[in-house]
Chain A
């Protein structure tokens, strides 16, 4: 098993300019897409998606979405609900992990694996 040293948690905030470690090993198909992980794209992604989201919400003012329920026809309903649901699911991860997370060798049999 490889014990490649992974950088400590690299959040998009502190994405250091990463020179591809072994550039010659990069798959030829992947080369044209390396800009996807450039710092500019990483930083701009939030704004890009945010803009797209606002556009999709704006569409509600141009068309009338017909829904089964009265409340789903409010402008931007799915955006607000989707954002809230996603954030709730992710943030619940913190207390849930505190409650149910144990060390990797908690079950004795699992130590044999790695």
Chain B
């Protein structure tokens, strides 16, 4: 069934197998050893790859599909590596935690994201796309509060829907082209192209589809939020880069993504939610790069995704450490923590500097690629908007996160420094953020296309320092004048208000009405239901109408129908 060429082993299998093994291991230390060793082994298999190509095919003869489960090329190479690094850092960060479910789910989740990146066809992509949703939701649920439970359900519904859209689009695309291969799709593919784009867009947190991110991530467990920040959204960016490079609408979508979270992050009190807005904002930069679609743009998106996994992970780790020690990440409750957590504060500052694109830190050499790609194409308004958004990044991620937790007014909290394993994970992420900033050639060599952009020109450094210093000056001035919106405990509404308030009320009303109608009409309808189900069976069964036109389509159609049903059931249960 599986045919291996040249002895290449998909690193994702190692991680997935480790996840299954961990689920079965009752011993804490054994689980942690596997969590640490699996990424090392995966890295070994990644390093062994010395050629590009499709390395593993799986033919499922019964339904006539040939799957490509391991495609190693310029794009999947860099994403594979950063996911391996993330899995390793997550394992270190979670060493203290005794939770078999989270251990196995976080590893399976990372492995599924990796497998999705290495998928060469849309069916394989879909399968692992959905597995990331089913596994990652436990990282939210394990917090154990009602808020986390409900946010997890909302998260799951949107992510399953994302997969259903992907599958529906894939089936349509297959009907048009006769191929399941995951190559450039674009909007030229018509409805199929749109469906898949929106499916990807949910996971990439496009505007209006984004609320799951700010809703669920801040409610995840301490380690869960760190794990979540690495995989789902970056996997979606990969999928967009593969399928929609040069799709112009993404430039505008990306700019909106980069801009709007900046404003919300200013007033948000929960610092992990601020970081969730920050994810959204950074994804915006990457989506713009993909929309531009030139080799420089795609390189920029890939490089920035790589750097983002590290510095965003680092920021989430530092806020996780604060949450672990103080029990809160609300800015209004924190302040002055550098007195008791100085090492965490130091690493957090490196993460904050890296995301703000200070010279010699990672985003300085990665975001510049995207801005250069935009400028090369002459999009001066987009370029200005991204520079504007960069000032906003400095505000919420560069200043707000470290300032209100570790400095500002002293909250009087005297806690212990973070556990050694958290410090080690933060230290490695901080080191890599500096390493990339200094050794940008190392990262550039891993990018999908040849890259001779030079970030370290005197002009670039001076311009960037002007931007950053002027923005910090504005911060100091606004604080002095008392014009900075002080931190307040409150809920900031987002688009999910529509389904959490009026949507829920309408749903409850409709449910009551339907339940009554249902009870009333059940008796009369039972016979006609039987005939409808017979018709459906004829139409959808392997020998029926749909499958005659495209055999694998029937299977996919069934899967989509069941997933939609499951989705509705879960939402009703909520």
B-contacting residues of A (Cβ < 8 Å)? 1-2, 4-7, 9-13, 15, 18, 20-22, 25-27, 29-30, 33-34, 36-37, 45-46, 49-50, 52-53, 56-57, 59-60, 63-69, 71-72, 76-83, 85-87, 89-94, 96-97, 100-107, 109-110, 112-113
Contact = CB atoms under 8 A, between A and B. Distances in A.
B456 to A, nearest CB: 14
A101 B417 contact: no
A33 B480 contact: no
Contacts of A105: 491
15 contacts: A46-B473, A56-B466, A56-B469, A63-B458, A63-B462, A64-B459, A71-B380, A86-B395, A87-B478, A90-B478, A92-B266, A93-B484, A96-B263, A100-B264, A104-B489
A60 B340 contact: no
Contact of B486 (A9, A49, A86): A9
B224 to A, nearest CB: 15
A68 B473 CA distance: 26
B491 A106 contact: yes
A22 B428 CA distance: 32
Interface string B381-405: 0011001100110110000000000
Contacts of A11: 479-480, 482, 484, 486
Contacts, number: 231
Given A67-B459, A109-B147, A4 B479 contact: no
B407 interface: yes
Contacts of B489: 104
Given A68-B375, A81-B388, A96-B264, A49 B472 contact: yes
Interface centre among B376, B409, B458 (most CB of A within 10 A): B409
A25 B473 contact: no
A99 B375 CA distance: 35
Contacts of A33: 338, 342
A114 B478 CA distance: 31
Given A26-B339, A33-B338, A37-B407, A97 B267 contact: yes
B548 interface: no
A10 to B, nearest CB: 4
B476 A93 contact: no
A86 B411 contact: no
B263 to A, nearest CB: 5
A97 B494 CA distance: 12
B332 A86 contact: no
User: Which of A13, A22, A56, A89 has the most CB atoms of chain B within a 10 A radius of its CB?
Assistant: A89
Contacts of B340: 25-27, 30
Residue of B147, B335, B339, B459 with most chain A CB atoms under a 10 A cut-off: B339
B395 A104 contact: no
Nearest to A106: B491
A29 B466 contact: no
Task: Identify the interface centre among B263, B470, B478, B490: most chain A CB within 10 Å of its CB.
Answer: B470
Contact of B492 (A50, A89, A94, A97): A97
A102 B462 CA distance: 42
B471 interface: yes
Contacts of B408: 10
Contacts of B491: 101-107, 110
User: Interface majority SS on B: helix, strand, loop or mixed?
Assistant: helix
A113 B143 CA distance: 10
Interface in B130-180: 145-147, 150
Contact of B469 (A30, A77, A79): A79
Contacts of A96: 263-264, 266-267
B474 A86 contact: yes
A60 B340 CA distance: 41
B61 to A, nearest CB: 49
Nearest to A25: B414
Given A30-B339, A33-B338, A63-B458, A86 B470 contact: yes
Given A11-B480, A12-B479, A113-B147, A85 B327 contact: no
A53 B479 CA distance: 17
Given A30-B339, A85-B392, 17 more contacts: A4-B413, A11-B479, A26-B340, A36-B338, A53-B470, A65-B459, A82-B468, A82-B474, A83-B471, A85-B387, A85-B471, A86-B470, A89-B263, A93-B485, A100-B267, A100-B493, A102-B492
A113 B145 CA distance: 6
B469 A49 contact: yes
Contacts of A101: 267, 488, 490-493
Max chain B Cβ within 10 angstroms of own Cβ: one of A9, A67, A76, A94: A9
Contacts of B387: 78, 81-82, 85
